[in-house]
Structure 1
Amino acid sequence: MPQISDAITYPTEHDDWVKTFLIGGVLSAFGFLLLPLLPVYGYVVRVVRHSLEGDPRPPTFGDWEELVVDGAKAVLVGVVYMLIPGIVGGVAVGGSLVAVATGTRGGTATGLAGLVVGGLLTVALSLVLGYVAVAAVVAFADERRIGAAFDPDVLKPVVLSGAYATAWVFSVAVLVGASVLVGVLNGIPILGAVIGAFAFFYAQVVAARLWAGGYVDARTEADGTTRPDVGGPVA
């Protein structure tokens, strides 16, 4: 797994990094249109793939069809994994609202209790399946087939690995930190949202680099084969 400092500077380790950063930031700024996010997610997949192949430099944008297709596949993988939390959350909210709508004291108490329990269960499922979903996207990037994202033989040694878990935790910290920054910047009309989009794109690239490193270490531990080095130990 890359050193945290290396992962943070990774997006700049290319002569054309400014151009890449500008393209990714602009696409992210128009993410509310949804379609521009597909090449962004495709780029994240490309970052993972390059890292898994041992390339110390980030990739550039280009071959847009591949970016869009890979981005769409990554979104599909994420949606499939998050279906269960979504269903549980929907049932919890719906059932609670029905109970509260009865207008009785018991119905209200039951509804509120169901909302709290259902909400906690939804959060727990989202964390667990989100953890697996990231490994699934990396597996797809690695093997270039969407079936790998749902292959227990591929995913089990990764999600049970301490190396991958550590990489995932650090990536979450990076993404949460970026989200907080974006929230603060959103207080600045227009300009804040634009700067926030660039900041979050940068954080996504850092996170992708960490995911790849954790995945490499996990698979190496599992099968004993030598895979490309993706940075050094966590520091």
Structure 2
Amino acid sequence: MITDGLSYPVSGDDGLKRLLIGSVLGFASVLVLPAFLLLGYSVRVLGDAAHGGTEPPAFDDWGEMFVTGLKATLVAVVYGLVPFGLVVLLAVTILSGAAVGGDAGGLLAGVGLLGVLLSVVASVLVYYLVPAALTNMAVDGQMGAAFDLGRLKRVLLSGDYLLAWLAPVALAVVLNVVTVILVATIVGALLVPIVQFYVQVAVLYMFGRAYGEVTGTAEGRQTPTGAGAGRDNSDTKLR
């Protein structure tokens, strides 16, 4: 899976073109709007990989891609509410403990530290869950599918998906080393967005492929629910 993932971003005749477009969008994401386009494309990659695609989808239908990016952002925000809420709660608790002082203050501070641990665990769980949720949304064609935990359970508990989740950790280490080397020179710094987009697509492919293998989507055994839902194997559209 890792080997296929590393070759996937530049597969096909337009591999370099896609890489350059994605890199530009990544560099321009500070302007916000390109970030939604890039996220919409990420969902498209997840869906196509789940269907057994062997090369990244094209950058086209920009309007649909933008709307998909907005939906994906909402999904991530909803799932992120739990760790965010815990962070706010622990901040308030620790500040209250400092203000109260004494034994009561120490108790509040202890509760706050426990909240820190819980928020870290919750954040890890969210990072583990969101890619599967977005892939489910891409395959099904409906935003509500991202919150269908019953369907997601099978994927989340699979070894293939766990491997796809762990792989980015190793890739992130390599990416950080490469980034440090590249930023040492002006020319190298210009290559950073390209490397980042390359790794991002490789990781998304691994998530999508793991989903497809676990659910049978890649072999066509799973049919998207809902009338007219989904794209075909090469172009999954969300409603």
Specify the SS of the correspondent of 1:55: coil
Specify the SS of the correspondent of 2:33: coil
Q: Call closer, same or farther: CA 1:226–1:71 in 2, change over 3 Å.
A: closer
- Structure 2 residue 123 is the aligned partner of structure 1 residue 126: yes
Structure 1 equivalent of residue 197 of structure 2: 201
Structure 2 equivalent of residue 13 of structure 1: 11
- Structure 2 residue 138 is the aligned partner of structure 1 residue 141: yes
8 Å contact 2:96–2:105 — kept in the other structure? no
8 Å contact 1:164–1:217 — kept in the other structure? no
TM-score, structure 2 normalization: 0.82
Q: Call closer, same or farther: CA 1:46–1:23 in 2, change over 3 Å.
A: same
Alpha-carbon deviation of 1:186?
8.6
Structure 2 equivalent of residue 232 of structure 1: none
Alpha-carbon deviation of 1:172?
3.8
Alpha-carbon deviation of 1:180?
5.8
Structure 1 equivalent of residue 41 of structure 2: 43
Which one-letter code corresponds to 1:136 in the other structure?
A
How many residues align? The count is: 221
8 Å contact 1:92–1:119 — kept in the other structure? yes
Q: Call closer, same or farther: CA 1:176–1:110 in 2, change over 3 Å.
A: farther
Q: Call closer, same or farther: CA 1:90–1:189 in 2, change over 3 Å.
A: farther
Specify the SS of the correspondent of 1:36: helix
Q: Which stretch shifts more, 198-207 or 85-94?
A: 198-207
Structure 1 equivalent of residue 228 of structure 2: none
**Rounded Cα–Cα distance in structure 1 between residues aligned with 2:7 and 2:138:** 22
Which one-letter code corresponds to 1:7 in the other structure?
G
Q: Which runs of 5+ in 2 are unaligned?
A: 224-239
Structure 2 equivalent of residue 27 of structure 1: 25
Specify the SS of the correspondent of 2:216: helix
Q: Which stretch shifts more, 81-90 or 111-120?
A: 111-120
Structure 2 equivalent of residue 233 of structure 1: none
**Rounded Cα–Cα distance in structure 2 between residues aligned with 1:166 and 1:78:** 21
8 Å contact 1:167–1:211 — kept in the other structure? yes
- Identical-pair percentage: 35
Q: Which runs of 5+ in 1 are unaligned?
A: 228-235
Structure 1 equivalent of residue 230 of structure 2: none
Deviations 1:120-157 (A, max 9, x none): 11010111122111110010011111111111332111
Alpha-carbon deviation of 1:173?
3.1
Alpha-carbon deviation of 1:12?
0.8
Structure 2 equivalent of residue 231 of structure 1: none
Matches within 5 A, 1:61-80: 61-80=59-78
Q: Which stretch shifts more, 150-159 or 189-198?
A: 189-198
Q: Call closer, same or farther: CA 1:198–1:82 in 2, change over 3 Å.
A: same
**Rounded Cα–Cα distance in structure 1 between residues aligned with 2:39 and 2:105:** 42
Matches within 5 A, 1:1-235: 3-102=1-100, 104-106=101-103, 109-110=106-107, 112-175=109-172, 177-179=174-176, 181-182=178-179, 184=180, 188=184, 194-220=190-216, 225=221
**Rounded Cα–Cα distance in structure 2 between residues aligned with 1:93 and 1:191:** 42
Which one-letter code corresponds to 2:26 in the other structure?
S
Which one-letter code corresponds to 2:113 in the other structure?
V
RMSD, matched Cα: 2.6
Q: Call closer, same or farther: CA 1:175–1:142 in 2, change over 3 Å.
A: farther
Specify the SS of the correspondent of 1:59: coil
TM-score, structure 1 normalization: 0.83
Q: Call closer, same or farther: CA 1:12–1:163 in 2, change over 3 Å.
A: same
